[in-house]
Every structure is written in structure tokens, then in C-alpha cells.
């Protein structure tokens, strides 16, 4: 049976090197991995998120009005739903219209 001392010698010694000990003080940054996001892409993503929220709000209003009004939608609810539907229609036209112009 080998002794404990022999097993301890086989274990490598780990050294901690501080991050700031590099010769220039910082590690080099590889900029080839950075993703360039243009303003158009950012606005398109924001528009799709807004579109999703509008559809969610529309479903919530329909649900509250339907279950709260015993199957009928109130006059105020109808007007709010029409406003949200107009916003959804306009936003959809804007989002798909701006994407169609990109092909030129």
C-alpha cells in the first residue's frame, strides 16, 4: 500500500494569478464577436414587443368584459377595444411596411 506522502506529491500545485497582473494591465478584447445592432433593428424589435403587448391587452380586456359583463361587452369596453385594434392595425402596417422598403 503506497504511503500518503507519495499520493500528495502527485497532486499539481494550483497558482492564482490576479487579473491585473497582465503586462498591459488588461486582457485584450476581441471585437470580432461584438454584434452590431442598428437603430432600425432596435426599432423593429421594440415594435414587435409593443405589438405583442397590444394583443395581450386586447385579450385581457375582452376577457374582463366577457366574464364581468355576463357575456356582453359594455359600451366603454367596445370603444377601448376599437382603439387598441386601431393601434394594432397601424403598428402592423408600419412594421411590415418598413420591412418591405428594405428590399429596394
The 10s digit of each residue's pLDDT in 80-96 is: 989 999 998 998 888 88
- The answer to whether residue 69 is domain-embedded is yes
> Is the CB of residue 88 less than 8 Å from the CB of residue 96?
no
Alpha-carbon gap, residue 67 to 1, rounded angstroms: 79
Q: What angle do CA 63, 85, 50 make, to 5 degrees?
A: 90
- The answer to whether residue 8 is domain-embedded is no
- The answer to whether residue 17 is domain-embedded is no
pTM for this predicted structure: 0.55
Q: What is the pLDDT of residue 82?
A: 92
Residue 23 has pLDDT above 60, yes or no: no
Q: What angle do CA 89, 56, 44 make, to 5 degrees?
A: 55
Q: What is the pLDDT of residue 77?
A: 86
Collect all residues with Cβ–Cβ distance below 8 Å to 98 and sequence separation of at least 6.
Answer: 40, 44
- Structural domain range at position 55: 38-99
Residue 3 has pLDDT above 60, yes or no: no
Per-residue pLDDT band at 56 (split at 50, 70, 90) = very high
Give the helix ranges, DSSP H, for the chain. Answer: 4-9, 39-68, 75-101
> How many structural domains is the chain composed of?
1
Residue 104 has pLDDT above 60, yes or no: no
If we measure between CA atoms, which residue out of 77, 79, 84 comes closest to residue 62?
77
Instruction: Using CB atoms within 10 Å of the CB of residue 11, give its burial: 0 to 12 exposed, 13 to 18 middle, 19+ buried.
Output: exposed
Amino acid at each position: 500500500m503506497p504511503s500518503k506522502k507519495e499520493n500528495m506529491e502527485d497532486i499539481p500545485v494550483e497558482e492564482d494569478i490576479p487579473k491585473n497582473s497582465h503586462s498591459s494591465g488588461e486582457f485584450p478584447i476581441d471585437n470580432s464577436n461584438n454584434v452590431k445592432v442598428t437603430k432600425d433593428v432596435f426599432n423593429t424589435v421594440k415594435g414587435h414587443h409593443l405589438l405583442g403587448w397590444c394583443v395581450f391587452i386586447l385579450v385581457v380586456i375582452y376577457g374582463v368584459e366577457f366574464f364581468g359583463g355576463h357575456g356582453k361587452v359594455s359600451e366603454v369596453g367596445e370603444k377601448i377595444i376599437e382603439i387598441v385594434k386601431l393601434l394594432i392595425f397601424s403598428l402592423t402596417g408600419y412594421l411590415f411596411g418598413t420591412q418591405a422598403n428594405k428590399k429596394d
